Amino acid sequence: MTDFFKNIDLTKKQAEKIIDDTLLNKDDGELYLQDSINENVTLDDGKIKNTSFSKTYGMGLRGVCEDVTAYSHTNSINKSSLINASKNVNSTLTNFKNYKHNNSIKKTNEKLYENHNPIEEKSLKEKIELLNTVDKYVRSKSNHVKQVTASISCEKKNIEIIKTGGLSLTDSQPLISFKVSLMMKKGFKNTQGSYASGGRMSFDSYINENNWKQVCDEAFRQAEMNQEAKKAPAGEMDVVLNNGWSGVLLHEALGHTLEGDFLYKKTSVFHDQIGNKIGNENITVVDEGNIAGRRGSLNMDDEGEKTQKNILIENGKLVKFMHDRLSAKLTNSEVTGNGRRENYMFAPMPRMTNTFMMNGKYSREEMIKSVKNGIYVDALGGGSVDIVSGQFNFTVNNAWLIENGRLIMPIEGATLIGSGPEVIKEIKMVGNDLELDNGFGTCGKSGQLVPVGLGIPSCKVRMTVGGSKL
């Protein structure tokens, strides 16, 4: 863990005094300190395409009065920088008087990950050797593989949050991810496959032979499957979603509408729906930030609050939004441990952690058998979403045509079109095979990127499919 006050002209006691003075008569606030390193190694077609090593170091001071946030950040941690940050915060909040600072916080001693540094656990040479082994393994699966790209990303982030009264909270967060993409060519047809995995763990416990081969095999399967794919149909139809990564649709099209800043701004379509039924009774959705080792998990959020399991939708009824301290205060709600920021340059906001739908009672086979005409989405791709309304358009990487309850043939070129608030009403069957994604999700909001987890059981839903065959 970084000692942020070592070898600088500022003691921790002096910093605490400046923080106390700054946040006097403020509703809330904190000093956020960060020291992180990131390493990325990418091999493309047997050659090292990129090696990068970066360091993020700095601090941000926040003051809050009513619904106004003042935030000042700097990449220097010293006495003069903190004094200037204090002046900047106070100059913004000059018209607020006699507010009582809220210093209550839910602390935790729970450790969801160990204090690993995946960057130092293997040398750069060893990582390059592993990527070369991956390249050879993928190419050995077929002479139709024409291009392979593989990458390893490692991060170690140390943070300290100091609030009034000398309250100090620290965390040391490891993060690792591994990704493989390939291009396959048979005749005149090129197809692609891509897969990744990751989490908050040590290098050796994560990137072992079984794990990296599983990633390679899945990327290869996707590319090979589309070699035989035909044009996708178009129109409104029954869609069966695969479990796991298909939860990205739930995350993007529904999850963002349940973040607390959209509640107090009244821009969420659900801002006045707490306690009301918004989906079928077979649907329960949770956000759980305290699952050990998961990419979206945190020992504490970026305000120092304990992460927890939050039931958002229970049996189709909306019961809770995800909150940081500000949105909880403005809506008279419980703080849920969802205050997150990309780094010290940003103030926190309500964000998802690991968001997923709970199990239902049906098998995937039962759902497929119940479909007369539709598609089975094997692997969902990326897309575009209006995070306020939930309107979405997602590409489909791999899918099958379903006719009379049977998988007929692979199809390509399909898209899923719709609205999260509407789709949740159209989920007719929920599977008993909940699976979280493999640990490579990154969520963007208001210019900030944070690692997240997501998941879903297999589901049957009525929705619009965009394709090239009518």
Give 100 or 362, the one with higher predicted confidence. Answer: 362
DSSP symbols for 402-430: EETTEEEEEEES-EEEEEHHHHGGGEEEE
- Across the range 104-133, mean pLDDT stands at 91
How many other C-beta atoms are found inside a 10 Å radius of the C-beta of residue 286? 17
Q: Is the pLDDT of residue 68 over 90?
A: yes
Q: Are residues 445 and 361 in the same domain?
A: yes
In tens, the pLDDT along 366-378 reads: 999 999 999 999 9
Residue 319 CA from chain centroid, whole number: 22
358 DSSP assignment: P
Residue 114 lies in a domain: no
Domain boundary among 194, 209, 228: 228
Question: Of the ranges 68-77, 225-234, 274-283, 461-470, which one carries the lowest mean pLDDT score?
Answer: 461-470
What Å distances lie between residue 142 and 174, 223, 302, CA to CA?
35, 11, 46
| CATH, residue 151 | 3.30.2290.10
Q: Are residues 156 and 288 in the same domain?
A: no
297 Cβ contact list (under 8 Å, min separation 6): 112, 113, 200, 289, 290, 291, 307, 353, 354, 453
- Across the range 451-461, mean pLDDT stands at 97
Q: Are residues 250 and 295 in the same domain?
A: yes
Range of the domain at 210: 124-228
Q: Are residues 317 and 189 in the same domain?
A: no
Contact 289, 353 (CB under 8 A): yes
Residue 454 Rama label (left phi>0; alpha psi -120 to 50; beta) = beta
Cα–Cα distance for residue pair 143/441, rounded to 1 Å? 31
Residue 148 lies in a domain: yes
Residue 23 lies in a domain: no
Q: Are residues 248 and 223 in the same domain?
A: no
Q: Is the pLDDT of residue 97 over 90?
A: no
In tens, the pLDDT along 233-276 reads: 999 999 999 999 999 999 998 999 999 999 999 999 999 999 99
Residue 40 lies in a domain: no
- Across the range 210-227, mean pLDDT stands at 95
Q: Are residues 272 and 372 in the same domain?
A: yes
- Across the range 133-148, mean pLDDT stands at 96
Q: Are residues 340 and 243 in the same domain?
A: yes
Cα–Cα distance for residue pair 382/196, rounded to 1 Å? 14
Q: Is the pLDDT of residue 113 over 60?
A: yes
What Rg value do the Cα atoms of the chain yield, rounded?
24
Structure tokens, 35: 């020291």
- What are the φ and ψ backbone dihedral angles of 373, each rounded to 5 degrees? -140, 120
The pLDDT assigned to 19 comes to 97
Q: Are residues 416 and 440 in the same domain?
A: yes
- Report which of 50, 54, 53, 88 is spatially closest to residue 69, judged by C-alpha positions: 88
- Across the range 90-112, mean pLDDT stands at 80
Question: Which band of pLDDT confidence, cut at 50, 70 and 90, is reported for residue 101?
Answer: low
How many other C-beta atoms are found inside a 10 Å radius of the C-beta of residue 26? 22
CB burial readout 406-418, b (16+ within 10 A) else e: ebeebbbbbbbbb
The pLDDT assigned to 99 comes to 64
Helix H, strand E, coil C: the string for 75-107 is CCCCHHHHHHHHHHHHHHCCCCCCCCCCCCCCC
Q: Are residues 319 and 446 in the same domain?
A: yes
- Report which of 43, 53, 89 is spatially closest to residue 69, judged by C-alpha positions: 89
Q: What is the mean pLDDT of the chain?
A: 94
Q: Is the pLDDT of residue 387 over 80?
A: no
pTM of the model: 0.95
Residue 410 CA from chain centroid, whole number: 29
Residue 154 lies in a domain: yes
- Across the range 281-297, mean pLDDT stands at 96
How many other C-beta atoms are found inside a 10 Å radius of the C-beta of residue 205? 15
Contact 239, 158 (CB under 8 A): no
β-pair partners for 462: 238
- Report which of 238, 271, 261 is spatially closest to residue 421, judged by C-alpha positions: 271
Q: Are residues 376 and 270 in the same domain?
A: yes
β-pair partners for 451: 442
The pLDDT assigned to 386 comes to 86
Side chain identity, residue 372: K
Residue 10 lies in a domain: no
Cα–Cα distance for residue pair 220/182, rounded to 1 Å? 7
DSSP symbols for 234-299: -EEEEEEEPSGGGHHHHHHHTGGGGBHHHHHTT-STTTT-TTSB-S-TT--EEEES--TT-TT--S
Domain boundary among 228, 248, 263: 228
Characterize the bridge pairing of strands 448-456 and 354-357.
parallel
Residue 240 lies in a domain: yes
362 Cβ contact list (under 8 Å, min separation 6): 429, 430, 431, 432, 458, 460
Contact 63, 23 (CB under 8 A): yes
Q: Are residues 223 and 256 in the same domain?
A: no
Contact 326, 69 (CB under 8 A): yes
Cα–Cα distance for residue pair 91/241, rounded to 1 Å? 52
In tens, the pLDDT along 9-54 reads: 999 999 999 999 999 989 999 999 999 999 999 999 999 989 999 9
Residue 461 lies in a domain: yes
Residue 344 Rama label (left phi>0; alpha psi -120 to 50; beta) = alpha
Q: Is the pLDDT of residue 77 over 80?
A: yes
Structure tokens, 200: 């908050």
Q: Are residues 197 and 292 in the same domain?
A: no
Helix intervals (H) in 337-412: 364-369
Contact 97, 29 (CB under 8 A): no
Q: How many domains are contained in the chain?
A: 2
Domain boundary among 228, 257, 283: 228
Report the first-to-last Cα separation within the chain, whole angstroms.
59
